[in-house]
Structure 1
Amino acid sequence: MALILVRYGEVAIKGGAGTRSRMERLLMHNILSGLRGGIGIGAKAIRSQGRLFVEVPDDRVKESVDLISRVFGVKSLSPVRAYVFKELNDIVNAAVKEWGDLVRGGRRFAVRVHRVGSQNFTSMDVAKAVGAALKPFSAGVDLERPDIVLFIEVRGDNAYLFTEVINGPGGLPLGSEGRLLALISGGFDSPVAAWFMMRRGGSYVDALFCSLAYPIDVINFLRVSHALFSRWSIGYDPRLFIIDCSPLISEFRAKANPHMWSALFKRVLYEVASRVARTIGALGGLVTGESLGQVSSQTLHNLMAIEHGVDMPIYRPLIGLIRTT
């Protein structure tokens, strides 16, 4: 089995031990669920003072890293080699075995060490000793602009050696902050808004689509939803709701001022969405991709009028962002 070290910066600094432990367990569940259900990998995860260590089959490391790097709550991860040591020289020997060939051929390197525990040496001691042992194989040490960076994490009587740090999305583990219903269109903004709430809020997100031109717009909605949820909703299977809203157009044409159609449509959509949200238990609120002033229905006055009387929160994570395309 291969080992992947997973870092989760924000979860680790949560104030209450109970909250932190709950989020750690949720993060572990999402990772293992994603590996099992997403790519058919049976894995095991172990918690260790602000870290997770995930064991996966040796021949499935690349796929596992790709999936874990998309799990909300993961700050970064690294495939590692683990060595048990009794003294500093054991770590040095492991580093020479692991990296002696890697630094050959005129490569300059740097050693970065992170240490947790009560060992009788410091992180600097490890870096100096490993650097001195590897220097004869290489073009020397360069702490500013190395060709390769060699990482060592010392925890208790284990040393973890690695050369890659792959960034994750960060945020909170999916499911840590309740459930939301996103109003998804076939465009770009609303899926991005849903992504932000999944990442920042750690919320389960279901999706609602209001169809006006079945089946063409439904196909586009399903395409966009699949791109969002299949890649990012790891640990939760979202529910998709499609409503035929085409009768509304006939009503508006018969009874409403044409200049009000856009705002009226949004207002009815909010009311329908709030009813669906209550039915499915998405009581955290609604998510939309609205950005201030982008279209006529998204002016301050229209937004205020549209949401008047809706009895749940409406989240607009893109409200102050400027589109560049």
Structure 2
Amino acid sequence: MKGIHHITVSNATVKYEFDIKRNITIIKGDSATGKTTLVEMIGEYYESGISSGITLVCDKQCRVLAGRDWSTLLPAIKDSIVFIDEDNDFLPTREFAEAVRESDNYYVIVTREGLVNLPYSVEEIYGIRSSGKYAGLKQTYHEFYHIYGDHVPNESFIPDTVIVEDSNSGFDFFNGLSENKDYSVISAGGKSNIFKESFIRKDSNVVIIADGAAFGAEMDRVMKLVSGRKNIVLFLPESFEWLILNSDLLQSGEVSDILKSPSDHIESREYFSWERFFTHLLIEKTQDTYLKYAKRKLNDAYLNDAAAKKIIKTIPDIELM
């Protein structure tokens, strides 16, 4: 599945309206905010249709996955938007993550815990809030809102340390920039180590750079560290490859069009996370050029002064050059 799918579900007393943009959407929040009610309404409509008193409008089938037989039921669900409530024990398992990866569905998951086996985006973590009565009727209108906002500086920020998620080309790039500069660059060796490396250095000026397209499970504890601290900046582009593509270094109209609406181009069954798509796209578009890209080791052409400045220009208010 790909594309953005608009969903409206309502009964006589409540109405939910929202868009689903990626293969994994997370709904968080406290009790009594309407999360479970949403899932229950989806399930009731699937089972009983309009006789349930519920109206559901979407261009894809919406249904609920639950219970111990989930692994038997899921393979039969195709090209659908699957809602899952937080009381299902299978959610954090590797078996479930593998089943999601192999399917062509979108998933809307209610959970208060980070699901470390699923590569979900920080941009697709939502709460549900009531925004009053709908159209003057006795019907409460619910909408999604982003749990995590930006945590970038409002003015020029000079780091002591830059922490990069991995040790591949992204690290090579930022480490190369740091030569003869007054800051150091370290690799966290994976997103699960970002918190530890940041905590160790929490009293110095730190920039954290990680792939936002798959960093969702780490956000809660990292934001608890970052919130209220002006000396820690969290920069989460979709991925390092996206950063290059977004810099217009390639000067490709096709790439620019894709970046305007990635959902229309990213097939969920082929790409478990958007990070993988952007890596594939960059490799494909630079093949047989001087900018030929490889994930494991950075092509020195990207550290050329002109190229590096183009890439860095897309990073807000962080002094790296």
Using the size of structure 2 for normalisation, the TM-score is: 0.24
Larger Rg: 1 or 2? 1
Q: Which has the higher helix share?
A: 1
